[in-house]
Every structure is written in structure tokens, then in C-alpha cells.
Amino acid sequence: MEKNDNISLNNINHGISILERKTLNVTGVNKIESFDDEEFFMETTMGYLVVKGEGLEIVKLDTKEGVVCLKGLIISMCYVDKIKKNAKEGSIFSKMFK
């Protein structure tokens, strides 16, 4: 059963809609990695998405359908190719062991 759930999540279309920089709807979300009132970091079917803003909060979370709705002031959104657990570790160690 678990394999079927993963397949169905990967087939969900990814889309983003913003209304007046106050409401953000994201489809195709596999999971939310971390969040607070200034930043949401989520895995989507098209890669990792970072949403930054002020007063961010979840309005709707539908894990079965892969839908996340946020409200607050949306400042920026960015896709991230690779995850760095700690930016300091990544930069120091990558420079030392090249």
C-alpha cells in the first residue's frame, strides 16, 4: 500500500497561486520539512520550495491531496536543488575537502 501512496503523490500536478501577496496555495506538496512564521520549507513534486514572509501560518493542509494553503505577507519563493542541513558545515567542509 505504501508504494501506491508514493506513486499517487508524485503524480499530483504542482502549482502555485498567490492572491495579493497575502494568500498562497501550493499543490503537489509531498511534505513540509520545516516551518515557522517567517519561512516554510516544503518538498514538492517539482523540488524543494522555500517560502519566506511575515506572519505566515497554515490555513489548510491536505496531505492526501498534497495541498497547502498559507496566509501572511509573502516576500519571496525559491526552489532549492540540494538540501544543506547546516550552511556553515557545508561551506567550511566543502572548502577543506575539495
Under 8 Å between Cβ of 70 and 35 = no
Instruction: List beta partners, residue 80.
Output: 48
Which domains are present in the chain? 2-96 (2.60.40.2000)
Q: How far apart are CA 90 and CA 1, in angstroms?
A: 37
Q: What is the pTM of this model?
A: 0.73
What are the 10-residue block averages of pLDDT along the chain, 98 residues in total?
Answer: 46 90 96 95 95 97 94 96 57 51
CB 39 within 8 A of CB 52: yes
Q: What is the pLDDT of residue 94?
A: 52
